[in-house]
Structure 1
Amino acid sequence: MKQFFLPLVFLMIIIFPAAAQQEYFFPGNKSLSEEIPSPQEFLGYEVGEFHTRHDRLVAYFEELARVSNRVHIQEIGKTYEQRSMIVATITSEQNYNNLETIRQEHLQLIKQEPSLPSLDGMPVIIQLGYNVHGNEPSSSEAAMLTAYYLTASNDLEVLRYLEEAVIFVEPVLNPDGRDRHTNWANMHRSFPPVADANDREHNEVWPSGRVNHYWFDLNRDWLPLVHVESKARIDFYHRWYPNVVTDFHEMGTNSTYFFEPTKPFGSENPIIPRSNYEGLNNLLAPYFAGAMDEIGSLYFTKEVFDNSYPGYGSTYPDIQGGLGLVFEQASSRGHLQESIHGDLSFAFTIRNHLVNSLATVKAAVENREVFLRHQKEFFESAITQAEDHPSRGYIFGDAGDSNRIRAFMDLLLRHKIEVYENNRDLIAGNRRFEAGRSYFVPGSQPQFRMVASIFDTVTQFQDSLFYDTSAWSMVHAYGLPSATLNKSQVRTFNRGSRIDSTFMEPGDLSVEKSNYAYIFSWEDYNAPAVLYKLQQKGILTRVAYKPFSIKTVNGEKEFSYGSIMVPVAIQELSPEELYQIMREVAVENRVPVEAVTGGFSTTGVDLGSRSFEALEKPQPLLIIGKGTSQYEAGEIWHMLDSKLKMPLTKVDILDFSRLDLDRYNELIMVQGNYNLLDEEDVQNIKAWVEKGNTLILQKSAVTWAINNKIIAEELEVKKDTATNGETTVRRDFETAEATEGAKIIGGSMYRVDLDITHPLGFGYKERELIVYKNNNTLLKPSKNPYSTVAVYKENPLVSGYVSRENLEKIPGTASTLVSKAGRGRVISFIDNPNFRGTWYGTNKLFFNALFFGQIIKVPNIAN
């Protein structure tokens, strides 16, 4: 049925529910058991008539499990808002009774054990995943229909599916986001539905249902594993290693339908074998085309979407010997919306995803041995590919920051990567790695391709257009010193014991009692959490502006810029009460705290020096709402919640004018359009800063502050060398997308020189820092020579794509600077230090802005 007949189809469904709906979704099928309730029978309304809440979706799957031995439900986790994350196992009764045996035999394909089981009779593992973006809701409705069909049908073809496959259905990957959008769509639904795209139903308020509780895009989180949903999902994934994994989405209303293959070569990850793209993708495409042709739906392939970034739900399986598949359906963004193809109904979008769900199962079963053999050969070839790779192994470590190491180790272990202790001091990549405090990751292991994805840097690409980031080297995101090892280094490497989950368990951490002062280093990632806990309890703290050495109970210790000193005598608490708190926060956050018996330093400043500055407790305010980036706002909210346990006041931009700004000492503005702030708001912000407060800006907010004369800084505008500044170059029309797209800095990693003596640089040991840049804004260094905290180095590119013209513009521009404004200051981050919640390496810049912003005094320049 063609799309321009959709309004009639929608009305027919409403007027003739029982017959029309069944025939619409399962035309001509007479073998559906009446003992199995259909979704519409269970829900009390027709599929597509309303958006189904998450709890009702879960209830329907539980009902299927209650009435049929084909379906079994398990909860794999809970979201932040305590919604259940379920997976339904759909298979034959015989398979389910032997499920653990099936799992263990399947895992032998990955483990490369000597006695591999026969592929004859081994079920193929299929994982159907739906609705990772909550406001792309049609797929979860299709999930119910898919499960219903596989449960109720007695067709011989379906019985074969159940015998030859174990099918996992995860109906909602983002329950919190789904319910946010579901409530929006249902509360604004009209009777009859309004197709006008301007109607409120089709235009969500901020934040959208796309994101999870903390406003993150979970479809970017399969690699970094920041969130509880992703961690639960990846733990389940590695119990099974599915052969085929689906990832159902929606796109613009005026589009049609997309299924793989994606754009050849340009959108593909070069570390994945060509057999994945040329073999499996092309093998399955005719199944999807046939399913869409049968119902007359338009579609396209091979043009867009990205298979390179390993953190998507449709790409992570490719690095695990499976096949990830992305599907994109034009969205009704409600129940009925006008489009260039006619009125697009919710029911229609659901049906397209339904037929491709069933086509996936059919294709996987009919090519069962192909997929099983591919997975076996995939992990075999990983070892071979590792032997040919320039890097035979990797070493990393940071003696001063065990908590950042622990966080990175957790990431590696969750991705099933082998890691070993380093048993001897080693020089590699012009770095010294200490025995017992650094770690070795061999390339030669089944997860080699995951290892390379996490450690390698790439700067050569076949395409200049990226749907998303072009750099994902996680060891650099964590800011960890690391080096590659060549063949001879690996051959002679003295590896220690293999790291396992016990590494994550708390170790012994003792804190001695002091009657004079306690000191802890700011190098540790968890040091800010310790400081904030102390501030919450009203404990006075001071920060060292200069390094020093001092005798502690445990011997002489060196302390660098940013070390925190807690004097004993000036506190309102007794020495015993203070000791109990210091011990509690140190153990809780695994941060070493040293006790000193006196204030005389062996080198550097004494503890009573004016180089120790008293700290003020942060009282931050974050502007959110229309025009601001929900991603960047969510990253800050999540970081303060999860890393610091710091309450964050989030105020909608529309409510800003009613605020008493004097309640706060720090105002945060992320990437966004701040045109909703009027002139009075701007002047209030300016006056508030000049009274002695701190304004923290990210990306385009810096431009806003410059344009509104809050800071006297300048943007850097450099001409393209390719055109010598001329704009009249003539080009063919069809090259426009590639030419203009290549000018965008979509996401890549760069080296900056960081002033580690500046309060924003406290806690860093090395001046070279790697930052993530995904914008084209360039900022001139400040005219005040002491205010440019981080500047891009010559030859700054570390990993990712950037055009030659853009790369030539970046060196010498500012990444971070501090501007004086009366008695206050404005901290400008031209790059996002908290990108996707996983940039541990630059989070400290933002922590420093929070904790030290109020004590930064921009030096005056002598005339």
Structure 2
Amino acid sequence: MKFTNIFLFCFLALAGISTQAQDYYLQDYGPFDPEIPSPEQYLGYQVGAMHTRHDLIVGYMELLARLSDRAAITYYGQTHEARKLVMLTISDPDHIQNMEQIRLEHLKFTNPDQDPGSPDALPILINLGYNVHGNEPSSSEAALLTAYTLVASSHPDIVKYRSDGVIFIDPTINPDGRDRHTQWANQFRADPLVSDNYDAEHWEAWPRGRTNHYWFDLNRDWLLAINPESRGKLAWYHQWYPNVVTDFHEMGTNSNYFFEPMKPIGSEDPIMPKENYEDLNNLFAPYYSSALDNIGSFYFTKEAFDGTYPGYGSSYPDLQGALALLFEQASSRGHLQKTDYGEISFAFTIRNQFTSSMATVKAAVENKVTLREYQQKFFNSAVTANKPSNVAGYEFGDPKDVNRTIAFIDKLLLHRIKVYQKGDRFVVPTRQPQQRMVQSFFETYNKYRDSVFYDASAWSVANFYNMKYKPVRSVDTSKEVSGNSELVQITTAPQSNYAYLLDWDDYYGPAALNYLQKNGVQAASAFKPFTTNTHAGQKEFNYGTIMIPVSKQDMSPQQLHQFIQEAQQLWKVNIYAVSTGFSLEGIDLGSGNFRKVEAPKVLMLIGDGVNSYEAGEVWHLLDTRVKMPMTKLQLRTFNFAPLDQYNTLVMVSGSYSQLDSLKQKKIKDWVSKGNTLITIAGASKWAINKKLVKEKLTVKTKDSVKNENSERLSYVDAPENNGREEVGGAIFEVDLDLTHPLAFGYTDRSLPVYKNNEVFIQPSQNPYATVAKYTADPHIDGYISENRYENYLKPSASLVVSAVGAGRVVLFADNPNFRGSWFGTNRLFLNALFLGNQIRVPRVND
């Protein structure tokens, strides 16, 4: 032991806690090593009496690693708010000393080219993951108890778990959200406790603690990997490939407890092997039922949730040869709350999560051969199973937007998908260990055995990036891509005494322009294409190209050139030096079709009633990819805001009930002065309903309503029937007007968009105002009911600009920034920010 008796005495004296409280959780697992303090002794309060801060959780895990040779701690990253992301490894001391060798031997079971030997020779790898939603806090408290039990207990069962298993405890996947909720719950905690549902303790303030710093749902981010929490976890995951992974959650207060098996997967031909979601789940289920029966807890299975979307913590590991397990505990949403069946306490919720944690370890250890053989079979089948002979891989790439291509490759490599270079294009073979992830990135579907999804029904990541691709019959694997640095090649611009041209086709063109504007550089956008000579030779320039005139700057040519070079190095974009304003084709550089770009001064409304996910996506995009500050205005302070200090207002989905008729008029008058209002999804519907614009929503025709079947339906089927009319998340094709400023930088009229709402906007009566309309047969991927598809989506527009006085409202029916992943449609939103002030909706002659 790495612990002294003096230190132990101080700990116990400070805590002063009896063993009675911890017996509520731990009575079946003694005896415990007295030299290792329990969580209650460390914290100074009973587990469940308070919500534990993340730093204390980490501190306790670090303490266990210091005191015991059965534990070791690693750090796999940090959050946006610089909180530690930790993994506590628990096993037999000999295993702890030999972890690297265990890892290498274990990885042989994931490599079809290696002989791993006996599946019984190694300990089973178990990853217990907790608290991905910050305001579902019971599981992190259970993590403390689980860690203590597995480290300190000398019970024969626990000794066996350490001998036959390696348990990785990730105590808090979302520390930023957890601490936001912890602060709320503790500051409103009363003594005695107040269980009234309407007490402030049970009603968090916006944006609540579910999400991370940028208000992202990290339980949707395993596939998309936008945030550091997910990227760090994925790097760790692909280092270890655990056999079992848990995903602990909370749900409505009047529920009970859920464990798998889930509701059947909605896909007609699931990527996940049937053996996983049927055989293995049914193998583990009796362990949970027995353990929960033993403590008198009620539970349910099979009725809810689904693992269709591969980006959950309870589904992504299933595509890596593991068994991923979802748990949902009825939440106390504080320390004590009334339910239909009496009061539910925080301690009770913790005990259920702790009980399931220990049952998971027991089930994994007792079935380690089955689990390891399954993982070996999983990866072997990826390279041996029969696949369509005419699809050896997928070729992709956009030479006109290298940074967007590189971002897509980065995502492929993060998931350990093999990528090979083929000139200025790239190819991904289907026959590789990550074959099922290749399917997730490229394959699309239009048939489903279920029509109600817990979340998205479409996730073909190539479409997220607007990455055009095609199947190929053969793959050249001579040049594997190992990283992105060698793929970035920019043309460094020499100093010019005339002008520079920034290629707007590049994803990071707006970021480079923002950098230049922050440093006082004046710029203009090309509203028509042209061809001219540059320092790199003759080049064609697309709509939106940014022209930076040297003589019109309030700085020397040398200073301007320094900013040009800095922008290039920061954003890896091509900027070209030109020495003449005379173009070979198209407009000259002095043309009136070059229009000055006004630096965006952006305001976004946030607060109660506003969709925090969509607001966070806007904030994240501007913060992390454009490095452009944006003012986030609470709705409660709207009356005090000097709107005239801003030229762009962003409104995402929300009720906006705080905006009465006078405040609505204030917004409309501000837009009329020449400013830009950008509305997304539900906010577009709000703007139309409040008559800020003259556009209309799509409604069913009278004929289609008459033709509907009005037969009597069974009451029990109502939730399913209503649910199938929701658009949970699907991908559709729109036709872009490439000459419109909102489409500048695009080179293909066809663009995939993501729809996860029921906002349908009619094409504008002004023929110049519909920027993007769904095509005649727009479905690309995902489920949508025939009613929604035929009567609402097909006749509608995805993006409309509506004139309001001298200004304009940019109405997005779909979310161009969905989950921080839609690189393909981010440009539409950024164009609205940077070019909005130059959009004039042409008048139509009567």
Bin for the TM-score computed over the shorter chain: over 0.9
**Cα distance in 2 between the residues matched to 1:341 and 1:371:** 39
Aligned to 1:686: 668
Given that 2:736 and 2:749 are in contact with CA atoms closer than 8 Å, whether structure 1 keeps it comes out as yes
| Aligned with residue 628 of structure 1, among 600, 610, 626 | 610
**Cα distance in 2 between the residues matched to 1:201 and 1:654:** 21
After TM superposition, the structure 1 = structure 2 runs for residues 462-477 of structure 1, keeping only pairs within 5 Å, are 462-477=449-464
1:441 aligns with 2:441: no
In structure 2, the CA distance between the partners of 1:613 and 1:508, relative to structure 1 (3 Å rule), is closer
**Cα distance in 2 between the residues matched to 1:421 and 1:365:** 43
After TM superposition, the structure 1 = structure 2 runs for residues 797-836 of structure 1, keeping only pairs within 5 Å, are 797-809=779-791, 810-836=793-819
1:158 aligns with 2:140: no
After TM superposition, the structure 1 = structure 2 runs for residues 370-385 of structure 1, keeping only pairs within 5 Å, are 370-385=370-385
In structure 2, the CA distance between the partners of 1:268 and 1:285, relative to structure 1 (3 Å rule), is farther
| Aligned with residue 548 of structure 1, among 506, 522, 530 | 530
1:737 aligns with 2:724: no
Aligned to 1:10: none
**Cα distance in 1 between the residues matched to 2:551 and 2:319:** 58
Aligned to 1:677: 659
**Cα distance in 2 between the residues matched to 1:147 and 1:698:** 45
Aligned to 2:439: 452
1:781 aligns with 2:758: no
Given that 1:530 and 1:589 are in contact with CA atoms closer than 8 Å, whether structure 2 keeps it comes out as yes
| Secondary structure of 1:550 counterpart | strand
**Cα distance in 2 between the residues matched to 1:604 and 1:496:** 42
**CA positional deviation for 1:26:** 1.9
| Secondary structure of 1:789 counterpart | strand
1:479 aligns with 2:466: yes
**CA positional deviation for 1:386:** 5.8
**Cα distance in 2 between the residues matched to 1:850 and 1:264:** 43
**Cα distance in 2 between the residues matched to 1:736 and 1:59:** 49
Superposition RMSD in Å: 1.5
**CA positional deviation for 1:767:** 0.6
**Cα distance in 1 between the residues matched to 2:76 and 2:583:** 54
After TM superposition, the structure 1 = structure 2 runs for residues 31-110 of structure 1, keeping only pairs within 5 Å, are 31-110=31-110
Corresponding letter in the other structure for 1:541: A
Given that 1:246 and 1:325 are in contact with CA atoms closer than 8 Å, whether structure 2 keeps it comes out as yes
In structure 2, the CA distance between the partners of 1:182 and 1:67, relative to structure 1 (3 Å rule), is same
Aligned to 1:202: 202
In structure 2, the CA distance between the partners of 1:562 and 1:689, relative to structure 1 (3 Å rule), is same
**CA positional deviation for 1:341:** 2.1
Aligned to 2:9: none
Given that 1:666 and 1:694 are in contact with CA atoms closer than 8 Å, whether structure 2 keeps it comes out as yes
**Cα distance in 1 between the residues matched to 2:625 and 2:157:** 51
Corresponding letter in the other structure for 2:688: I
**CA positional deviation for 1:33:** 1.9
**Cα distance in 2 between the residues matched to 1:246 and 1:647:** 38
Corresponding letter in the other structure for 2:826: N
**Cα distance in 1 between the residues matched to 2:376 and 2:618:** 42
Aligned pair count?
830
| Aligned with residue 700 of structure 1, among 674, 678, 682 | 682
**Cα distance in 1 between the residues matched to 2:477 and 2:75:** 39
Given that 2:131 and 2:139 are in contact with CA atoms closer than 8 Å, whether structure 1 keeps it comes out as yes
1:562 aligns with 2:562: no
Superposed CA offset, 1:779-805 (max 9, x none): 111111100000011111000001111
Segment drifting more, 653-662 vs 129-138: 653-662
Aligned to 1:538: 520
**Cα distance in 2 between the residues matched to 1:327 and 1:388:** 37
In structure 2, the CA distance between the partners of 1:389 and 1:93, relative to structure 1 (3 Å rule), is farther
**Cα distance in 1 between the residues matched to 2:40 and 2:114:** 50
**Cα distance in 2 between the residues matched to 1:742 and 1:601:** 55
1:638 aligns with 2:611: no
Corresponding letter in the other structure for 2:837: Q
Given that 2:268 and 2:447 are in contact with CA atoms closer than 8 Å, whether structure 1 keeps it comes out as no
**Cα distance in 2 between the residues matched to 1:192 and 1:628:** 34
**CA positional deviation for 1:387:** 2.6
| Secondary structure of 1:18 counterpart | coil
**CA positional deviation for 1:597:** 0.8
Aligned to 1:396: 396
**Cα distance in 1 between the residues matched to 2:427 and 2:309:** 25
Given that 1:716 and 1:779 are in contact with CA atoms closer than 8 Å, whether structure 2 keeps it comes out as yes
Given that 2:287 and 2:363 are in contact with CA atoms closer than 8 Å, whether structure 1 keeps it comes out as yes
In structure 2, the CA distance between the partners of 1:234 and 1:494, relative to structure 1 (3 Å rule), is closer
**Cα distance in 1 between the residues matched to 2:204 and 2:486:** 41
In structure 2, the CA distance between the partners of 1:389 and 1:370, relative to structure 1 (3 Å rule), is farther
| Secondary structure of 2:799 counterpart | strand
Aligned to 1:13: none
Segment drifting more, 47-56 vs 18-27: 18-27
1:842 aligns with 2:844: no
**Cα distance in 1 between the residues matched to 2:121 and 2:462:** 41
Superposed CA offset, 1:372-404 (max 9, x none): 100000001111336347633101000100100
**Cα distance in 1 between the residues matched to 2:128 and 2:186:** 26
Segment drifting more, 496-505 vs 559-568: 496-505
| Secondary structure of 2:248 counterpart | strand
**Cα distance in 2 between the residues matched to 1:183 and 1:595:** 54
Aligned to 1:607: 589
**Cα distance in 2 between the residues matched to 1:386 and 1:630:** 44
Superposed CA offset, 1:444-500 (max 9, x none): 000000010011111111100000010000000001111122xxx21xx44440000
| Aligned with residue 837 of structure 2, among 836, 843, 854 | 854
1:353 aligns with 2:353: yes
**CA positional deviation for 1:336:** 0.2
Corresponding letter in the other structure for 2:280: L
**CA positional deviation for 1:264:** 2.6
**Cα distance in 1 between the residues matched to 2:770 and 2:308:** 35
| Secondary structure of 2:379 counterpart | helix
Superposed CA offset, 1:540-597 (max 9, x none): 1000000100011111100010111101111111111111111110121110111111
Task: Calculate percent identity across the aligned residue pairs.
Answer: 50
Given that 1:721 and 1:805 are in contact with CA atoms closer than 8 Å, whether structure 2 keeps it comes out as no
* TM-score w.r.t. length of structure 2: 0.96
1:759 aligns with 2:741: yes
| Secondary structure of 1:338 counterpart | strand
Superposed CA offset, 1:59-108 (max 9, x none): 11111112111111111111111111110000111001111010011111
**Cα distance in 2 between the residues matched to 1:129 and 1:556:** 56
Segment drifting more, 738-747 vs 390-399: 390-399
| Secondary structure of 1:497 counterpart | coil
In structure 2, the CA distance between the partners of 1:267 and 1:420, relative to structure 1 (3 Å rule), is closer
**Cα distance in 1 between the residues matched to 2:44 and 2:389:** 58
After TM superposition, the structure 1 = structure 2 runs for residues 32-431 of structure 1, keeping only pairs within 5 Å, are 32-266=32-266, 270-385=270-385, 387-388=387-388, 391-422=391-422
**Cα distance in 1 between the residues matched to 2:703 and 2:386:** 40
Given that 1:743 and 1:806 are in contact with CA atoms closer than 8 Å, whether structure 2 keeps it comes out as yes
**Cα distance in 2 between the residues matched to 1:72 and 1:666:** 51
**CA positional deviation for 1:504:** 6.1
Given that 2:89 and 2:168 are in contact with CA atoms closer than 8 Å, whether structure 1 keeps it comes out as yes
Corresponding letter in the other structure for 1:527: G
**CA positional deviation for 1:680:** 1.4
**Cα distance in 2 between the residues matched to 1:759 and 1:122:** 60
**Cα distance in 2 between the residues matched to 1:155 and 1:777:** 58
Unaligned residue ranges in structure 2 (runs of 5+): 1-15
* TM-score w.r.t. length of structure 1: 0.94
In structure 2, the CA distance between the partners of 1:644 and 1:131, relative to structure 1 (3 Å rule), is same
Aligned to 1:432: none
Aligned to 1:587: 569
In structure 2, the CA distance between the partners of 1:825 and 1:177, relative to structure 1 (3 Å rule), is same
**Cα distance in 1 between the residues matched to 2:267 and 2:55:** 37
**CA positional deviation for 1:354:** 0.3
**Cα distance in 2 between the residues matched to 1:622 and 1:326:** 36
